[in-house]
Amino acid sequence: MSAPAAIEVALRSALALHGTGRLPEAKAGYEAVLARSPDHPDALHLLGTLLVQLGRPVEAVPLIERAVRRLPRSAVYRSHLADALAACGRGTEAEASWREAIRMAPNDAEANFNLAGHLAQAGRWLEAEPLARRAAGLLPNSVPARFRLGLALEALGRPGDALAQFLFAARAAPLERDIHLRVLATAMAATEPAIAWRTVQRCAVLMPAAADSFVAVEATGRPSGDSAEKARWARRGAVAAPTVAFIRALAAGYRIDRHDCPGALDEARRAILVGPGVVLGYTARARAAQIVPRFDVSRQTVRWGLCLAPGDAELTYQYAQVEKASGDLARGWALEENRVRSVRFHRTAALPARWNGPGTGVGRLLVATEQGIGDELLFMSCLPDLLSDVADPVVELDARLHPLFRRSFPGLELVPRQAFRFEGGRVVFDYSRVRSALGISHYIHAGSLPGLYRADRDRPATRRSYLVADPAAMAAWKERLDALGPGPKVGICWRSVIASAIRTNYYAPLAAWEPVVRVPGIRFVALQYDECRAELAALRERTGVDVWLPEGLDQMDDLDGTASLIAALDAVVSAPTSVCMAAAALGVNTLRVAPSTYFIGKNHDHFFPTMRPLAAWGRPMDLTRALAHAAEILPATLSR
């Protein structure tokens, strides 16, 4: 056999060893070829490529450079030289070599793929995307090529197109959980919740003990109606990984959503036992104990948790609720100030200096809004107290409340909510415009007013009302109510449009209100501000009781007109909703189908003297008993 033929046989043998992963033997084979033919280009190139695989790119570069000098028109050599240069950190030279390889061979899939990856690492996504697209087109069944194209499309703000690439990769590599997690994130960005939820389930199946699968369950943001499904998956995770505290804590949170607070207490206790360093376990247990309510358990739990995480906003918030309910009320309000650090609180921009309360310096004060209509009505019960300390504040309120507040506080400067934009999925209240226009120098959040004016548990509010309904509209409503027939007129409201694990404990279906609406001699009026005609019709058919729904009044948007109707009534029985707050703020005798506000008072409400709580303080909420109690005391309430 001639020498050249023997060299080729030896080279093919080394290449076969290389292809089967026997790298040390292949290396020896290439070196043997080069010992006989030092400038053999294929041997130089293949040995250099093997050294890159072995993590020795510095040794590889001169070998592949020699191969390129021998065959300068080889696109493959230049592409692999670029790989070696990049592995040495010589990115600029590597990019030039890849580009030259692509110029020579535009359909070299490997060169396109690798250059796309190099540009992506540098954040040069616009340049990376066409290269990644070409690589994916040349290698249509390649998971890495499709995945890289998906990353480029995602980075360019095209989540829908990226999702298609990631879904292909996930189908081709169904056991790769990291690919499924990428599908999840992109599906959420592309507002494809069904795809996101299916992906969550696959992640949980592939590695049930991994906490991030269950983070993904939560991250899908499923509607509350699907909390049972999420709970099933969390329980599945807790069975598969009984010592993973995060999953148990998450399962406790889902139990709360399902109104199983005793089960949540037990699940959260287990989370703390298996993972005493996981803050979420303490948060879930404290929250469940607060709802039950077990204030002693909640207080102890938050204290333990705060030893672990002293600055945790959610634990501090729970501590505030416990102190307001059964401890030092002033401390509870002080702790409540931490709510602004919670992810549940909206973002703010351009707020001035915070006002520190009566007796401290203030120029023009902004009372900044927070939360919903009912909360605004609650916090603004402190407005008369504030006006005795600050002459001309600017009050930010939902615009629907402006007519009512202008009448009640003539000359008061009102501005609508300053929610102008979204950032990171959260509303941003930007005060730059109103601050400049009105010369605002200080601010205080409306929710901070009770801490200034309602911090003494033994000194509840005594002002019967602070809002004034339109007298003419009120008189017109009285005429319409009188036309319904003799007897007192009582408004009812049985739910809010806002639901949460705590709030829904106080919302019973209208059918459960039969004991109330059957009280003889009373004509009931529907103050339910969402669609309720079908419920009223079903009640009428079942009981014969006709609850009057005032036509021509938009109780959701016309809050001034609704206030006039409420003020014309003899009493209101309501779940804890904005209707309940409005009735009490207008001085109407109000039966609240819930405990007192924040559990502060046992037999009275701390904010409204005309509001009477119907739930027993410190005991689990029993809606059946509360509604029966409402029916029992309603006649006496009307005689007051």
**Interatomic CA distance for residues 362 and 355, integer angstroms:** 7
In a domain, 553, yes or no: yes
Q: Mark whether 289 and 375 lie in a shared domain.
A: no
Q: Are residues 421 and 487 in the same domain?
A: no
Residue numbers of the domain that contains 629: 471-638
pLDDT at residue 225, rounded to an integer:
52
In sequence order, the β-bridge partners of residue 592 are 574, 613
User: Which stretches of the chain drop beneath a pLDDT of 50?
Assistant: 1
pLDDT, tens digit, 9 for 90 and up, residues 2-59: 667 778 888 888 889 888 889 899 889 888 888 888 989 988 999 889 998 999 999 9
What DSSP string describes 508-546? --GGGGHHHHTSTT-EEEE---S--HHHHHHHHHHH---
Provide the number of structural domains found in the chain: 3
Q: Are residues 482 and 525 in the same domain?
A: yes
Q: Is the domain of 437 the same as that of 487?
A: no
Do 506 and 527 lie in one domain? The reply is yes
Q: Would you say residue 188 lies in a domain?
A: no
Closest CA to 133 of 115, 187, 121: 115
Claim to verify: residue 361 and residue 505 sit in the same structural domain: no
Last residue of a domain, one of 299, 321, 345: 345
CA dihedral 190, 193, 198, 201 (to 10 degrees): 110
Final residue in a domain of this structure, among 453, 484, 506:
453
355 shares a domain with 232: no
Q: Are 491 and 557 found together in one domain?
A: yes
| Res 397: pLDDT | 96
Domain boundary among 324, 345, 366: 345
Q: Look at residue 104 and tell me if it is in a domain.
A: no
| Same structural domain, 266 and 314 | yes
What tokens appear for 323 in the block? 């102190």
> SS3 for 572?
strand
**Domain CATH number, residue 216:** 1.25.40.10
502 lies in some domain = yes
Q: Are residues 625 and 516 in the same domain?
A: yes
Sign of CA dihedral 452, 454, 457, 463: positive
* Residue 42 domain-assigned (yes or no): no
Report the CATH number that the domain containing residue 494 is assigned in CATH: 3.40.50.2000
In a domain, 150, yes or no: no
Residues 442 and 494 in one domain: no
Write out pLDDT tens, residues 353-383.
999 999 888 899 999 998 889 999 999 999 9
CB under 8 Å to 195, separation ≥6 — which residues? 163, 167, 183, 187
Q: Has residue 14 been placed in a domain?
A: no
30 lies in some domain: no
> Which residue from 129, 127, 81, 128 is spatially nearest to 101, judged by alpha carbons?
81
Q: Is residue 371 located within the same domain as residue 352?
A: yes
Backbone φ and ψ of 399, nearest 5°: -60, -25
Position 175: which residue type?
L
